[in-house]
Structure 1
Amino acid sequence: MFEKLAFLKHSFLGNPLYDWAAALTMALLVLLVAMVVKWVIKSRLGKALGHFDNRFARILYRVLAATRFTLVLLFALSFALHYLEFPKRVEGILKGVTALTAFIQLGMWLTSALYAAVESTRSSGRFDNNPGAMTNVAAFRFIGAMVVWTLLLLFMLDNLGVNISALVAGLGVGGIAVGLAVQNILGDLFASVSIVVDKPFVLGDFIVVDQFSGTVESIGLKTTRIRSLSGEQIVFSNNKLLGMEIRNYKRMRERRILFRFGVTYQTPADQLEMLPGMVKDIIEAIDTLRFDRAHFCNFGDSSYDFEVVYWVTLADYASYMDAQQRINLQMVRRFAEHGIDFAYPTRTLFITQEPPPDTEQAPPNPS
């Protein structure tokens, strides 16, 4: 029996075949154990999440789902082949593959856990009434992922024997050229950080920028996206957006309203004098309004002009329009009761008739 296995003593690439067989068996065992453990835990977590909602279970499920078969296979093979003897150059390649696959898989696990934790926080409803906190959570996801991959990259390079101090010093020189090449991108990146920290607006705010208006849907690294009233999505560069004037209507506590109306020139002075008080009574009868002033302000081309100012104590635009409609309807009814007519553009023509010339008078003698 052992004579049949004598061929395993033959050498291949400087190693007996039985060593190759042992290394490959070890790699397959590592791969098999990893995949079985992943499958068992995922199946149990999937059943558990079907019966109850557990934040830690959801995060762990996402982490396991981020396990990649290719990365585990490469790690198992390169790790098992360390037990064979190869030239130093080949051993360096195997070491690099092992470190690379291990750090990439670790990074995918960590970022998956981070994303799952952020999504769990956003879906929990704790920040539904705090859009600013939601904006911070979204920014934390990006910053956290960037920190994770940066640290893993440095650890991997250090593990491969790269001089990190010299690399950082070299980046200081090369960073100037890179910064000039990507200054627009970096400007948008720093602008996004400024938006998150300073909070001129947050997710869900209704803003007006130049001639555009809409609700903030997303604050990204390079762009901010808003959904306009007509339905389309408008994309702004973060750097340019901060350079423009932004009106944030979501933070409006009260709305100041000014409107004018005119009555005909046939309206007597007594009725003109009572009009401000009449409008004041109409406005004060509405609970959501606070009267400011009403005045006879101008002699128009075809009307006596009045100016009225009041405050809407609710920031909602629909509340303002409902209140203005009630004011208009009450003014129409009250003015009709007192026989007061609203003015509209009119023009009065005065025609004078001169006597015709005397045709019987003889023309003067030119001599």
Structure 2
Amino acid sequence: MDMRTFTSPLAGIDPTNWLLAAAVAVGSYVILHGAVVLFRRHLARLSEQGRADRPAAELLKATLARTSKLALMVTALLLGLTVLDLGAPWDERVRHLWFIALGAQLALYLDRALSVGAQRYFRSRASAPDAPATVANTLMVWVLKTVLWVVFLLAVLSNVGIDVSTLVASLGIGGIAVALAVQNVLGDLFASLSIAVDKPFEVGDAISVAGFSGNVEHVGLKTTRIRSDSGEQIVIANAELLKNTLRNFKRMSTRRVQFSLRANPSTTRAQAAQVPGVLRAIIERQEGVRYDRVHLKSVTQEALEFDVVFHVLDPSYGRYMDIQQTILLAAMEAFEELGVSTVGASRHVLIERMPRPDNGKPAAPAKPAAALHNIVSTRKQPS
């Protein structure tokens, strides 16, 4: 067997060139590593002294911290190989290694930049600076990183001469099939992302949606859990949650209160004219309440209806109920002092009973004077 078939193409290179290549490789590693360290320290000083944009400096500093020593070593080795006179096969392989090394390091930088950037974005919109990472943050970073590394892998395969068009087409068809199979799950996932970005509500908010109300306990990838006012936990899909009109009570700045008070229709004009002023004085005496209006809304045979509107500056439900109760009790007392009755109009129903004949024959209609009259009074109470 001819031993020359096992001879490496690198064997014919002069040892002096090898020493020069080694020196270039070592020197390149020292220079690259030192430059990265110095640049990171410079960014740290700029951030502390406030002479640079702090978010950008922190992002660059965190990104450079992801510098791979292995990537630096491979880059330095490739720089050393450039001084050698390599043959055609090795020259092409070195070009492939350049692409892989630089592409991998760039992908690592982008990976860290995505994590830090997403973390800063969601932290700036969180209710508390030390709030834990949300589900949307984790989901968004995971999706972006997956896309990043898939693109890098396809680029490497294409660079080494592998046809990736068929692979990309297969991934596209497979992705469509998977999306159709799990479209409900994906809908809830994207709804979770929408909730985190748009923030119609947050954990701890009191909301009302789809006929029930309660406090939000957890927003997950697929469902949101709400502790209802009656105590049980309600689990609703995120996509279904966003389809309904949602009311967030925690974000109320004030609470508008409107109700009606009814008086007996026998109330005189003079008495009715005093009611709005009396009710206004009652409302304005309450602390933390802004008066809006009191009007005589309607006059019917059933009742005189007064429309009362005011604003409670504290949006809490307990405070609102306390103030409304105080106003209603004071209004009842004021109505008594004015002589205004809140009892509804009375109706009298006349029931006429016919006497039963003894012989089984229909009796002649009784005379009105001989009939038994019962008067039943019914009163319609105000709602």
Deviation, structure 1 residue 177: 3.2
Mapped contact 2:191–2:239 kept (Cα < 8 A)? yes
1:50 to 48, 51, 73: 48
Tell me, in whole angstroms, the C-alpha distance in 2 between the residues paired with 1:67 and 1:35. 9
Tell me, in whole angstroms, the C-alpha distance in 2 between the residues paired with 1:274 and 1:290. 18
- Alignment deviations for residues 115-173 of structure 1 (CA, whole Å, 9 cap, x no partner): 55666677789x99xxxxxx9x979x758767755654554343232334333333333
Aligned residue number for residue 41 of structure 1 = 39
Aligned residue runs from structure 1 range 16-165, under 5 A:
16=11, 18=15, 25-52=23-50, 54-55=52-53, 56-77=56-77, 98-113=98-113, 116=116, 152-165=152-165
The alignment's TM-score, normalised by the length of structure 1, stands at 0.56
Mapped contact 1:256–1:309 kept (Cα < 8 A)? no
Tell me, in whole angstroms, the C-alpha distance in 2 between the residues paired with 1:51 and 1:227. 46
Q: Give the direction of change, closer, same or farther, for the CA distance of 1:95–1:37 in structure 2 (3 Å limit).
A: same
Deviation, structure 1 residue 255: 4.3
Aligned residue number for residue 10 of structure 2 = 15
Tell me, in whole angstroms, the C-alpha distance in 2 between the residues paired with 1:57 and 1:15. 45
Q: Give the direction of change, closer, same or farther, for the CA distance of 1:144–1:169 in structure 2 (3 Å limit).
A: closer
Q: Which runs of 5+ in 2 are unaligned?
A: 1-5, 128-133, 343-383
The secondary structure found in structure 1 opposite 2:158 is: helix
Deviation, structure 1 residue 106: 0.7
Deviation, structure 1 residue 290: 2.4
1:329 to 326, 329, 342: 326
**Identity over the aligned pairs, expressed in percent?**
26
Tell me, in whole angstroms, the C-alpha distance in 1 between the residues paired with 2:101 and 2:206. 46
The secondary structure found in structure 2 opposite 1:288 is: strand
Tell me, in whole angstroms, the C-alpha distance in 2 between the residues paired with 1:40 and 1:235. 53
The secondary structure found in structure 2 opposite 1:15 is: helix
Aligned residue number for residue 208 of structure 1 = 208
Aligned residue number for residue 311 of structure 2 = 312
Deviation, structure 1 residue 193: 6.6
Aligned residue number for residue 293 of structure 2 = 291
Q: Give the direction of change, closer, same or farther, for the CA distance of 1:180–1:124 in structure 2 (3 Å limit).
A: closer
Aligned residue runs from structure 1 range 124-273, under 5 A:
152-191=152-191, 199=198, 201=200, 207-210=207-210, 211=212, 213-214=214-215, 222=221, 238-249=238-249, 255-258=255-258
Tell me, in whole angstroms, the C-alpha distance in 1 between the residues paired with 2:315 and 2:196. 27
Which moves more between the two structures, 67-76 or 330-339? 330-339
The secondary structure found in structure 1 opposite 2:67 is: coil
Which moves more between the two structures, 177-186 or 200-209? 200-209
Tell me, in whole angstroms, the C-alpha distance in 1 between the residues paired with 2:77 and 2:236. 48
Tell me, in whole angstroms, the C-alpha distance in 2 between the residues paired with 1:14 and 1:284. 99
Deviation, structure 1 residue 68: 2.2
The secondary structure found in structure 2 opposite 1:163 is: coil
Q: Which runs of 5+ in 1 are unaligned?
A: 1-10, 129-134, 298-303, 344-367
Tell me, in whole angstroms, the C-alpha distance in 2 between the residues paired with 1:102 and 1:118. 24
The secondary structure found in structure 1 opposite 2:46 is: helix
Deviation, structure 1 residue 39: 1.1
Aligned residue number for residue 351 of structure 1 = none
The secondary structure found in structure 1 opposite 2:174 is: helix
Mapped contact 1:223–1:237 kept (Cα < 8 A)? yes
The secondary structure found in structure 1 opposite 2:293 is: strand
Q: Give the direction of change, closer, same or farther, for the CA distance of 1:217–1:152 in structure 2 (3 Å limit).
A: farther
The alignment's TM-score, normalised by the length of structure 2, stands at 0.54
Q: Which amino acid aligns with 1:45?
A: L
Mapped contact 1:207–1:247 kept (Cα < 8 A)? yes
Q: Give the direction of change, closer, same or farther, for the CA distance of 1:322–1:242 in structure 2 (3 Å limit).
A: closer
- Alignment deviations for residues 25-68 of structure 1 (CA, whole Å, 9 cap, x no partner): 54443332222111111122222322226224333212211212
Tell me, in whole angstroms, the C-alpha distance in 2 between the residues paired with 1:58 and 1:201. 30
Mapped contact 2:228–2:234 kept (Cα < 8 A)? no
Aligned residue number for residue 348 of structure 2 = none
Mapped contact 2:213–2:228 kept (Cα < 8 A)? no
Mapped contact 2:209–2:244 kept (Cα < 8 A)? yes
Tell me, in whole angstroms, the C-alpha distance in 1 between the residues paired with 2:179 and 2:48. 49
Aligned residue number for residue 359 of structure 1 = none
